Every structure is written in C-alpha cells, then in structure tokens.
Amino acid sequence: MGEKTTGMTRRDFLRMGSAAMAGGCMGLPFLGDAVAGTAEKSRVVLIRDEDVFGFLGSLDQDVLEKMLDQGVMRLMRADTPAQAWRQLVKPGDVVGIKSNVWGPLCTPPGLEEAIVGRLVTAGVDPKNIAVDDRGVRDDPVFQKATALINVRPMRTHHWSGLGTLLKNYIMFVPAPWKYHGNACERLGAIWKAPHLNGKTRLNILVMLTPLFHGIGPHHYSQKHTWPYRGLIISRDPVAADATGARIIQAKRNQYFEKEMPISPRPLHIETADTRYGLGNSHPDRIQLIRMGWKEDALI
Amino acid sequence: MIEAARADALRELQRDLPSKIMDWSAEGPDRIFDSNTLFEYIDGGAEVYRAYNLRQCLSRRYVTADGPAIILDVFDMGTSKDAFGVFTHDMNGAVVRLGQDARFQPGWLSFWKGRFFVSIYTEEETHESRNAVMALGNGVASLIKQRGSRPAILSKLPTRGLCSDTVRYLHHPVVLNYHYYLADKNLLGISNDTDVVLADYREDGEVARLLLIAYPDVKTAHEALERFLKYYLPDVDHNGFAPLENGKWAGYRTYKALAAVVLEADSRGFADQVLNRVFEKK
C-alpha cells in the first residue's frame, strides 16, 4: 500500500455521527451531518395488508396487486394505476424489470407479472418489456432499455449486511465480486455507470417475508423470516433501502431481545447517499407515507 | 499444521461420505466448486472462504420423502489454521462436541477438523432433521482422520477476561472489516503473511476489543504500525493511547514482530491492563 490514503476510517464515521457508528444503520443517524444525496425529502410509501397471505400461507395475487396499485398511485399522486404508471414510463420506453431470483427468497412471480401488466396498461409494447436477474447483461431488452423498474425482497446479506435495491444492480457488471470489498460499500458506483445512470423509474422493496438474520454459508433460515406483509415503494432507492433497513434492525432487536446491529454494517446505503448522491438515507429527509395494516409495523 | 500435502484430500473424503443418513438419501451428483466458481454456489458469503484460501468445496444434498432437505458442504481449506479461521467467522450457537470445535444453531451445524470446515444445514429444523444433521456431522467428522493445530498466535491471547466466543482468527483485511470496520484501506498491512487474532475482553463491567498481529519480521511490523498511527491514531500520546470520538480508548504496543492494538476499550486503564497482559505472556 502506498503512502497516500484517501479512504474512510472508523474514526471518520465517528466524527460524523458520534457513537452511532457501532450501532449499525438504525436510522443511519450519523448521516445527518453528511452531505445530502438530494435536497428534497424523498417520498417512500410503506403499504401493508394483513390479508396478502391466504389461508394456507400462499400469496393472494389480488391483494398483492391492490397493494401495488394503491402504493404506486399514492406515490405518484395519481387517481388511477394507469395514470400513475404513465408518469413513470412512456409508450416508447424499453423497460427492464430487474428482479431477484435468489432461491430461498425471490421476487414473487406474481408481482413481476403485475408490474408487466401495469407497464402494458401504460402503453409500453409487451415486446419492449423483459424481466430478468442474472441474465440482464445478455438480455436484448435490457441492453437497449430506456427505463428500469427495480424490484426485490429485502434480506440480510452475509457480505453487504443487507440485500437491497441498491445491491440488486450488481448483476449489471461483469465482475460482481469486484464490488464486494468493505461490505460492498461501492455498490452505488454501479448506478452511476453510463448504461444505468438515471434510468431507474421505480423501486419496489418487497417486505412480504423479509429475512432478518442469516445462518450458515448460504445465509438463510426460514425461522428468521417473518410475515411483515409489506411493500416499500419509492423513486429513491436509497430512501427505500434505508427504510427497509430500519425495519430489519427493529425486528432483530425485538427478536433477540437486545441491540443486535445488522452485521456487517450496510455501508453501501450510506455511501449511496453521501458519496454517490443517489438519494436520501436519513429518516429526517424521508417522507414516510404509511398505508394499510398498522400492527407490528416496527417503525 | 497440516499443509496442503494432498491436492485430492477432498476427493478421498468424498469416496467415503455416506449416501444415506437415517431416512435421507443423497440426491444427484455431488457438486465441486473452487475459489473462482464458489460465487455460483454461495451468494455473497463466498468472499469469506476465498479470504481463507479455499481450495475446494463439495456440496451434497440429502432428501427424504416427508422432511426437509439437508445440505452438506465440505470446505477443503488447505490448512488447519484456515479451517479453524473460517470456523471462527461465525461462532454463534451452542457448543457441540464434534470435530475439533463445533457449534449448533437451529438448522445449522458447523465444525472444523484438520484442513476441513464442514457445514450441515437443514432447510427446516424438525426433530428428525436435527438428529439427521447431528448423525451426518458425527459421520463426516469420523471420516476425517487427521486432526490439525490451531494457529499459534492464539497462545498470545491473555486468558483473563477473554470472551472465547469472540475469538476470530484471520489474515485478510476484509475479514477484519467484517467483524470490526477499521478503515477502507489496509492500514495494518494484514495479508497472508500475517497471523491476526481479534477478541473481546470483559472484566468488572468493562469491555475491550484486542487485535494481535504477528508480522513476518520486525521491519514489516514497524512499517505497518507507522502507517496505522499516521492515519488512524495520529493523536496517540507518548504511552500509546488515544481517546476515540465515541468516548472509548484505543492503544497499541509492540514487541519485535508482534503488535497488540486495543481497537476500543471502555477506559484507558482497561486498555492498558489488556495490553500489559499480552506482553506479560511473551
């Protein structure tokens, strides 16, 4: 290593935000003194429905679609789903829906189908819509995409702390492992790449059965998921992720009956705000719009 | 220390792995991954095994008609110190007498023995699947004939006040940052040529986190500490202590090629005590 070092240290974070450093991302309080990603408050819709799972635990497609429609309408201040989606995409857009296929906790196919349906309703040619995850770099629709919809479940993640909307774009780079350093703190850089920058129209963080703690090499345990029955919807991926992170953190503390910081600390949410200017991570700069079922909301 | 004497150690073990365990039977062919292909199998966590110089990983899935699947992953780490190291990455759970050290969390058994780290995971824990996981663990452990040594640097840890479940052996900066984010850059010059152990101490209500680094030589140690002090503890006093911004204390001491750093302690006095004990042992 050379003499010059421009990187951050733990003490830099401490200077920015006092003792919150060691406490994980609970509210990301230290970012209050950092440079804001955007000047305006970010609108984030948290919509939950107690009935989204049916009698045997299967996902109720009608309820899920109602949650999607109500959430997007409220976010876009629209009276109908079509009106809301027409604000997000134009008929001439080529739209890639970036989902997540991770086996134990994937983007629900029913949600992907619902999004495709809304895009078609908004006038997008079905031929110009694709849903993909690990094949996005080879997908012809994604290769010429003018718009992206980002949708994935939230989970704790062994290396980045949290599997987030921000992290969901790692499949757009040829060597994802190059972004694994220091808890994946550089993930925000991917969003600034020329072929992605500014193309994301909507972010949906699936909080139906989030994973709040992982075990083993595969970092999964069904025991550590719970039916939160929610969707977090925002145009700001950082604000959506930061909101989801607060819920995960609260659940961990509740479950373990003590302060149980997300580990490793999901630095990439903070740096997406402070270093890459992709959005707002501090609750003070997030307008949280709560809809639907309120019980055990945790935040 | 068991060095990588046999490149086919995992294949030899594979030959004897059980095809049935209680009501579970091996499904499909085993899958073998190396450090380059492990990402295809383990999303995210592969970085840990690479940081401990993974040679190969064998994955076998056991299934039964009426219960959850059981996944056996055997990691050939090449050396016992790396097998031990990757085991220490996650030591949550109950202590189990199996292999050389083992832990059991609901649904997951992990242990190390010799050059191997073994993970046995069930997708859903039932009474039967738990018994099968333990039976499979005992079976695999008995197939690994050669035991290994723990890293020598562990003997440098003072025993008084040591929280044994917090001991982490490592030699890669990303692993240190996972357990205790220090800096973007590798200020302490941690590499495959250094042996590092991280551990918490607790005594009389006070807590300290100690990092010991054994460098290959005095010159390397000196250069690393100089860099660390310049960029992380520029405000260190003449006794080697500095107050941190969260009200805690950091400090360091060296002896020949061994560096001891208290990354964070509740008080200067406790940091001093912990450092003193390290060098009382030398």
Cβ within 8 Å, pair A14-B245: yes
Domain locations along chain B: 9-143, 152-280
Indicate the pLDDT class of residue A151, thresholds 50, 70 and 90.
very high
Lowest-confidence segment of A52-66, A104-118, A190-204, B3-17 by average pLDDT: B3-17
- Angle in degrees, CA B155, B156, B161, rounded to 5: 95
Indicate the pLDDT class of residue A4, thresholds 50, 70 and 90.
very low
Residues of B in contact with A221 (CB under 8 A): 105-108
Complex ipTM: 0.86
What superfamily does domain B9-143 belong to in CATH? TM1622-like (3.40.1000.20)
Strand, coil or helix: A278: coil
Instruction: Please check whether residue A135 touches B, CB under 8 A.
Output: no
d(CA A269, CA A31): 11
Cβ within 8 Å, pair B183-A181: no
Identify the pLDDT of residue A33: 33
For an interface test with B, the pick among A156, A182, A219, A252 (most B C-beta atoms closer than 10 Å) comes out as A182
Residues of B in contact with A16 (CB under 8 A): none
Question: Between B44, B119, B246, which is nearest A21 by CB?
Answer: B246
Any bridge partners for residue B168, and if so which? B198
**What proportion of chain B, given as a percentage, has pLDDT over 90?**
83
Indicate the pLDDT class of residue A19, thresholds 50, 70 and 90.
very low
Residue of B nearest to A181 (CA): B174
CB B74 within 8 A of CB B58: yes
Give the residue from A43, A133, A127 showing the smallest Cα distance to A92: A127
Residue B147 is classified by DSSP as -
Indicate whether A194 belongs to any domain.
yes
Provide the Cα torsion A171, A175, A178, A184; round to 10°: 10
Specify the length of chain B in residues: 282
Q: Are strands B24-34 and A147-157 parallel, antiparallel or unpaired?
A: unpaired
Cβ within 8 Å, pair A11-B245: yes
Residues of A in contact with B183 (CB under 8 A): 5, 7-10
Residues of A in contact with B266 (CB under 8 A): none
**Mean local confidence (pLDDT), A124-130:** 98
CA distances from A12 to A5, A16, A31, A177 (A): 13, 6, 12, 26
Question: Between A14, A160, A217, which is nearest B244 by CB?
Answer: A14
Indicate whether A63 belongs to any domain.
yes
Summarised one tens digit per residue, pLDDT across range B202-227 is 999 999 999 999 999 999 999 999 99
Instruction: Please check whether residue A178 touches B, CB under 8 A.
Output: no
CB B136 within 8 A of CB B121: no
Query: A114 CA to chain B: closest CA distance, Å?
Result: 27
d(CA B172, CA B216): 15
Give the residue from B280, B175, B165 showing the smallest Cα distance to A181: B175
Indicate the pLDDT class of residue A242, thresholds 50, 70 and 90.
very high
Cβ within 8 Å, pair A222-B123: yes
CA distances from A189 to A114, A132, A275, A277, A288 (A): 30, 21, 9, 10, 26
For an interface test with A, the pick among B105, B170, B184 (most A C-beta atoms closer than 10 Å) comes out as B184
Q: State chain A's mean pLDDT as an integer.
A: 89
Identify the pLDDT of residue A154: 98
Sign of CA dihedral B119, B125, B130, B132: negative
Cβ within 8 Å, pair B185-A5: yes
Indicate whether A45 belongs to any domain.
yes
| Residue A2 reports pLDDT greater than 50 | no
Cβ within 8 Å, pair B107-A10: no
CB A260 within 8 A of CB B92: no
Indicate whether A17 belongs to any domain.
no
Identify the pLDDT of residue A1: 40
d(CA B171, CA B197): 8
Lowest-confidence segment of A53-57, A75-79, A109-113 by average pLDDT: A53-57
Provide the Cα torsion B38, B41, B47, B48; round to 10°: -100
Indicate whether A34 belongs to any domain.
yes
Indicate whether A272 belongs to any domain.
yes
Sign of CA dihedral A260, A266, A269, A273: positive
Q: Residue A264, preceding bond cis, omega within 30 degrees?
A: yes
Residues of A in contact with B174 (CB under 8 A): 180-182
**Mean local confidence (pLDDT), A89-107:** 96
d(CA A257, CA B267): 27
Segment A258-261 long-range contacts (CB within 8 Å, at least 24 positions apart): A259/A23, A260/A213, A261/A22, A261/A23, A261/A24, A261/A25, A261/A26
Structure tokens at B44: 């995210």
Identify the pLDDT of residue A22: 39
Helices A109-121 and A81-88: crossing angle, nearest 10°? Answer: 80
Identify the pLDDT of residue A17: 54
| Residue A36 reports pLDDT greater than 80 | no
Lowest-confidence segment of A34-48, A230-244, B233-247, B267-281 by average pLDDT: A34-48
Instruction: Please check whether residue A10 touches B, CB under 8 A.
Output: yes
**Mean local confidence (pLDDT), B192-210:** 97
d(CA A255, CA A138): 41
Alpha helices in chain B, H assignment, sequence order: 9-16, 38-41, 46-51, 80-88, 127-143, 173-179, 218-231, 268-280
Phi, psi values for residue B5, rounded to 5°: -75, -35
Question: Between B39, B119, B186, which is nearest A1 by CB?
Answer: B186
Residue A108 is classified by DSSP as P
Give the residue from B29, B33, B65 showing the smallest Cα distance to B49: B33
Residue of A nearest to B250 (CA): A11
Structure tokens at A162: 């949290």
Indicate whether A5 belongs to any domain.
no
Rg (alpha carbons) of chain A, rounded to whole number = 18
CB B154 within 8 A of CB B88: no
d(CA B35, CA B50): 6
Residues of A in contact with B227 (CB under 8 A): 1, 3, 5
d(CA A78, CA B177): 45
**Mean local confidence (pLDDT), B243-272:** 97
Identify the pLDDT of residue A39: 63
Identify the pLDDT of residue B204: 95
Indicate whether A13 belongs to any domain.
no
Cβ within 8 Å, pair A217-B189: no
Give the residue from A47, A75, A9 showing the smallest Cα distance to A236: A75
Tokens 């709040």 correspond to what residue? A212
Cβ within 8 Å, pair B44-A18: no
Give the residue from B86, B104, B100 showing the smallest Cα distance to B142: B100
Identify the pLDDT of residue A6: 56
**Mean local confidence (pLDDT), B34-40:** 89
For chain A, how many structural domains are there in total? 1
Tell me how crowded residue B277 is: count the other CB atoms within 10 A of its CB. 18
Identify the pLDDT of residue A191: 97
DSSP H or E run through B55: none
Q: Are strands A129-132 and A161-163 parallel, antiparallel or unpaired?
A: unpaired
Residues of B in contact with A7 (CB under 8 A): 183-185
Q: State chain B's mean pLDDT as an integer.
A: 93
